[in-house]
Structure 1
Amino acid sequence: MVRMKFSTREDVEAPIDQVFAQISDFDALERKGRRWGATLQRTDTMPAPAKGMAWEIDFDYRGKRRSMASELLVYEPPSALTFFSRTGGLECRSEIELMALAPRRTRVAVQIDLSPKGMSARLFLQTLRLVKSNLNVRFKKGIARYARQIEQTARQ
């Protein structure tokens, strides 16, 4: 089966509790998604962050409106978050693990695993393989940029 994985690690100059609080601030992440033009709708009724939280997300990609369902599978403060998302025939498992390296230093490991569940998704992943090295660089830069934002917020 055609699969694609992306992974990276970043060390963040902030305590693990602060890092986890920021990456699990779902209200702030929803606002950021809306600023990027996505439409997000919570589909669960949980009053606080917990395993089972779910969203329906609509966004534009390559000139078409796409829909994605996403669910929080693992919520283990302050060390782990795992999401499962499905859009069309593409499934995505996103894992975020935190490890305290020192009282004010945290390692953030992010892994994304894409799996096709249909012919069009398989073809899509095949085309992505052609530019995987470029996508990997962009993925790592994006996680590094987010880590620096977490550090700035932690200093305030």
Structure 2
Amino acid sequence: MEFTTKEDIEAPVDRVFAALSDFDAIERSVLRRGVDVRRIDQLQGPCEGMHWKAAFRFRGKMRDADVTLTRYDPPNSMEFNTLSGGLETRTVVDCVALSRSRTRVSLVATLQPKTLSARLLVQSLKLAKGNLNKKFRVRAADYAKDLEDRLKHG
């Protein structure tokens, strides 16, 4: 199962990518939303191999997730692999300069069930795919708008 979206941001590609890979700020933002996240690697700065553990509530149950930055190619792309239960998710973030002051950010999240319970979860998600796609796109658009505002005023 795959979710995709594209957003254009009125800012140079290097600044957009730097904001998207400001993992300390992202960790703080996620913590404010009630997700317990902690970095477990000892690597310096953004780079491949960064690893986080997260705990969050989903559908009334506490879930754990391991997130690894598997590709880091500034200012072009990043790729994350996430394992939560028997569900593997591959998330690719691509940045393309449309002009010196405009950047297109593409986001692709691919869910791959590895266990029976994960297959059942993905099946139930497929039934609501239209609604989930809409939520995914709205959240990405909101994040892109916030990012654009921060880059303009900061």
What TM-score comes out, normalization by structure 1 length? 0.97
Moved over 4 A (4+): none
What is the root-mean-square deviation in Å for CA atoms of aligned residues?
A: 0.6
* Post-superposition offset of 1:42: 0.8
Structure 2 Cα separation of the partners of residues 48 and 154 of structure 1? 21
Structure 2 Cα separation of the partners of residues 106 and 47 of structure 1? 27
Pick from 117, 141, 146 the counterpart of residue 143 of structure 2.
146
Alignment of 1:56-135 (within 5 A): 56-135=53-132
Pick from 13, 16, 35 the counterpart of residue 16 of structure 1.
13
* Post-superposition offset of 1:98: 0.3
* Post-superposition offset of 1:108: 0.4
Structure 2 Cα separation of the partners of residues 47 and 11 of structure 1? 30
Alignment of 1:29-48 (within 5 A): 29-48=26-45
- Between the aligned residues of both structures, percent identity stands at 44
Structure 2 Cα separation of the partners of residues 50 and 91 of structure 1? 21
What TM-score comes out, normalization by structure 2 length? 0.98
Q: Which runs of 5+ in 1 are unaligned?
A: none
